[in-house]
Chain A
Amino acid sequence: MKPESTKSFITNYLGCLFERSRLEKHTIKFGIDWIIYNNCIAQKWRPIRLPFTRQIDEQSPKAKTETEFGIDASFLTEELKELVIFVLKDEPLNNKSWTGANFDLDLRKAVCPDLRDPDLNNIELVKIILAYNKDDDHAGVELFSRFIASAPTHIRRIDKQEIPLIIERWNLDRLVDEVIGHLLTPQLLPQHISGILAYQCELVSRMEYGSKEWANLVIPTWKNLLSTALTTPIDERKLRSIPVCLIILKQFQNTSDPSSAAGWIDLLEWAMVSMWDACRKSPEEKEKAIVYDTWIQMYLAELDFYIDASIGVLTTQHGICGRQRAYGHLNPINDAYKAYWMLGRIGIFLVALPEVIDNETEAGQALIEQNLNKYADVLAKALRLNPAFLRPLIDLHHIELFLIWLIFWQTARIEEIYLFLNELETRLLFRRLGNASIPFIDGRNQLDLVAEYAVTGEKPYGFTEESSYLLLMLVELCFSLPPDKCIFLIEKYFNRLINGLDANGVRYIHRITGQEVEPVALCWWASPKDWANRIMTETVKDGVSVTISDNYDHPISGEELREKFSKFVQMTRERFPFESNFDLPLSVFLLASIKHQSPLPSELWRTQIFPTNYTVGTTVENKS
């Protein structure tokens, strides 16, 4: 992350904190007192007075209600020679707050501290710091300066020795500098989060992304932290604490491990999904703005950086390739896993671009077009140079295939769509017939079974290649092509790949089993009405499954298939209309679907290919 982004997020976080941390009506209020306390502890200062009682077994310290005499917190520096007194305010320093928020009153009290504590017998300097987590204006600064000019410059120690008294102010920027200098650690966060975050940092520093430990330990712990931090009622502080957690986590990233960059993206994504879900629970537009801001400045910015750094791999021949030989065609399986991971991220980024760039202006439109074309070029090259991109392993990879199509569709690259779908059909056919040593697509999305099949050469129990939502999607995508190419491809897909019939209408024989290949059942899925609500928090696979029951033992003409599938689209839309409300950007739903391993509702591509006034025989107009 760029330093200025880090600073921006820390500034926003510190700027929204209260003065005091406390538990109030079962909700933890985050305060700058906790920041000051931990900042001083980080510098090995000894607390003399704190505004709260530390409670180890509780989620938050308990605020003191005693009279403070203007002093919120005081510390002895490490050498025990300097007493630092903090006067804390969560107000801006201006003319109004100077008296209205008791800046003046508290400072006047603070310049007369009680030095009778034996620990203070040997101090040589007293420093009073007015710390406020807001900005200031000229009048406020002037008032403060005049106060200093009239304030005492020395103070008498218990032994009557006169020691210097200095008065400083820390505004928001200074507080941010202090935090960046000393406190970019889990202790920056409130007590109920800092412990989990410390553990999370340790895990991230040691676990490799993609390992079982990452899946079984790092991510569940991270999700636990996110749910702990984002309890209802959602407020600004809770939302802003998440990017801060991420900034701290990033420091613990094991940069010597190349996989850590992908792990960082993974953590970011889970955080974003949680934040988007959280902001829905708040009626305040301000909270949505915070999440939107984090989405753009943190997630999309980091994703852009990651994709840019990875372009070399995508556009190098066989760039996506296992580094060590592994028996049993595990490398092609893992290569496909990496490729589809990358495809998902590129797709999300390119869908998000028009959502965040102002496309009302010429400059905005030009920027969107420039980026879309740039990545469409990269994708076209990647598909040619890296065969892993044409190797979907599980039915859920329909999401990434849809994104490939969408990128080309948005950039009006119809020929690329045709080449992509055509090549994909051929490669899938070879797998289906046992000619390519890679198993066919597993309909139940069990990647472990796909890998086991590749290693052993034997189909494991539970491996499902007889049903497919992915293949149905590919057939529907063919409708985005001109009629002649659409007909040609639909024929290939349905007769050869799906029905398993050669040009003479004879069923293919599987090369390994020696048996005739069975037709694949095309299964359409009607998502539940609350899909959009639930996808942010869970896998959504319920709803209605509609299987196309027509099986043919002879090839069907492309024209007939075109009509058949058009009618199918029309009927399913009428019978099971898509009613979920896209109240968040589409890219967020795509991300949530990928993270929760959830299928996409077909309306996402149907709405582009089959406009509501579509009739059979019309050529779809690309209005992207």
Chain B
Amino acid sequence: MWSQRAIDISTVNNILLSIQPIPETAKRIWQQTEYYLVDRINEDVSHFFNLFVDLCKKNRFILDTLGQHKFSHLMTTIDNTSVDRHICELLVSHDRITRILGIRLFHEIKVSATFNILTLPKPDESILELLLWEFIGTSLLGNPTSKLLTLIEPLYRGVNPQLRNDFKNELVFQAINYPGSCLDFWKSLKTDSALIGDAIIIADKYFDDKTKVSLSSANSFGFPGLTDLVKYGARKFSEKIDSSVKEKSLLRMLARNIQVIYGDAWTLYNDGSINPPSGFQNISHSIEGPRIEEIDPEGMAIRRIHALSAINHANPSDTQIESQ
């Protein structure tokens, strides 16, 4: 039984960093790297994040794959570890890569929105401004968006009026973009935050105004052929989901797949006997899509580019990273 390591962890870390960037195609090496990182987080969370940040700085590949559910073993481990404080520290870092890592981790893991970020040293307003731009330049789904904004909101309460207003506008924007994940979630918090309270009022008015005009004639027709194309689009979407499920499901790959066309119960005839029929189980998963991406896709793209331009303008020496 080995009670001592043959080599110091920090030496291994330095070797790992010095051989970067490892190409994306070196799947075996990345697999081993992932196991190594899992061991590190199980040992010491702070040291893990230091290493992870340095790795991201050395190799863009890690940052780019966040959100694509690679490194699932590592992400699951992080998810099962108490990392809220560390994530928050990443968010308010002076370093851009670190901030982006913090934001993108919201995609992968369940960060609690209850952590009191004010327990950390208060960052400069310039960092908060950059954080806001970084967030705008990144596309997160509803749940991570609401958690992240809820988490960092206390930091914006006492800032200069322009920044405070910008943050409030972002809260409003996301409440409109994700009415379920953001607006309804913030309402359920029953918080005394003026920023969130104002955002809820404005977003509620937006939806009330829209409800009043939703049945207007000007909004109630389509171009000829729209109905058929909607069905076609739904089929294409189902096809994509189906093929990606097939790719990832071992069961689907190995087992025979039978399409039951009639009946609401099913059984099999095998070797002269019929088993008792069983019903079907409905498995579904839903996520809230961003509303504004459908209403104003050009505007959303422009918004992200503007955010990135603002970041690059503020810190031209920082690495220029494209939006996801």
Point out residues on A near B: beta carbons under 8 Å: 208-212, 214-216, 257-263, 306, 309-310, 312-314, 316-323, 325-335, 337-338, 341-342, 387, 390-391, 426-427, 430-431, 435-438, 447-448, 451-452, 455-456
On chain B, the residues within 8 Å of A259 by CB distance are 217, 220-221
On chain A, the residues within 8 Å of B295 by CB distance are 318, 321, 331-332, 335, 387
9-residue interface stretch from B74-82, B153-161, B205-213, B249-257: B205-213
Judge whether A260 and B217 touch: CB under 8 Å: yes
Using CB atoms, name the residue of chain A closest to B218: A310
Interface check B233, CB cutoff 8 A: yes
CB distance from A456 to the nearest CB of B (A): 7
> Would you mind naming 23 contact pairs between A and B with Cβ atoms under 8 Å apart?
A208-B221, A210-B221, A210-B222, A211-B227, A212-B228, A258-B217, A310-B216, A310-B217, A312-B213, A316-B209, A317-B206, A317-B209, A319-B210, A320-B219, A326-B230, A327-B234, A328-B233, A329-B297, A332-B295, A334-B223, A335-B295, A341-B221, A435-B305
Using CB atoms, name the residue of chain B closest to A339: B218
On chain A, the residues within 8 Å of B123 by CB distance are none
Judge whether B218 and A325 touch: CB under 8 Å: no
In the bound complex, CA of A259 to CA of B227 (Å):
14
Interface check B298, CB cutoff 8 A: yes
On chain B, the residues within 8 Å of A435 by CB distance are 301, 305
CB distance from B303 to the nearest CB of A (A): 11
Interface check B224, CB cutoff 8 A: yes
Interface check B299, CB cutoff 8 A: yes
CB interface residues, B 194-251, toward A, < 8 Å: 206, 209-210, 212-230, 232-234, 236-237
Q: Which of the residues A216, A322, A332 comes within 8 Å of B297, measured between beta carbons?
A: A332
Prevailing SS type, chain B contact patch:
helix
On chain B, the residues within 8 Å of A211 by CB distance are 222, 224, 227
Using CB atoms, name the residue of chain A closest to B217: A261
CB distance from A494 to the nearest CB of B (A): 20
CB distance from A235 to the nearest CB of B (A): 35
Q: Which of the residues B213, B223, B232, B299 comes within 8 Å of A387, measured between beta carbons?
A: B299
CB distance from B313 to the nearest CB of A (A): 15
On chain A, the residues within 8 Å of B213 by CB distance are 312-313, 316, 319
In the bound complex, CA of A438 to CA of B206 (Å):
25
How many residues does chain B have at the interface if contact means C-beta atoms less than 8 Å apart?
39
In the bound complex, CA of A257 to CA of B221 (Å):
10
CB distance from A504 to the nearest CB of B (A): 15
**Known contacts A330-B229, A447-B223; is A320 also within 8 Å of B206 by CB?**
no
Using CB atoms, name the residue of chain B closest to A263: B221
**Known contacts A338-B219, A342-B218, A430-B301; is A212 also within 8 Å of B224 by CB?**
yes
Q: Which of the residues A210, A313, A316, A321 comes within 8 Å of B226, measured between beta carbons?
A: A210
Q: Which of the residues A262, A312, A329 comes within 8 Å of B294, measured between beta carbons?
A: A329
Using CB atoms, name the residue of chain A closest to B293: A437
On chain A, the residues within 8 Å of B294 by CB distance are 322, 325, 329, 331-332
Interface check B289, CB cutoff 8 A: yes
Judge whether B298 and A427 touch: CB under 8 Å: yes
In the bound complex, CA of A314 to CA of B234 (Å):
29
Interface check B16, CB cutoff 8 A: no
Q: Which of the residues B214, B225, B233, B302 comes within 8 Å of A326, measured between beta carbons?
A: B233
Judge whether B216 and A313 touch: CB under 8 Å: yes
In the bound complex, CA of A437 to CA of B139 (Å):
15
In the bound complex, CA of A210 to CA of B232 (Å):
18
Interface check B192, CB cutoff 8 A: no
On chain A, the residues within 8 Å of B44 by CB distance are none
Q: Which of the residues A209, A312, A327, A391 comes within 8 Å of B298, measured between beta carbons?
A: A391
Q: Which of the residues A262, A322, A328, A437 comes within 8 Å of B217, measured between beta carbons?
A: A262
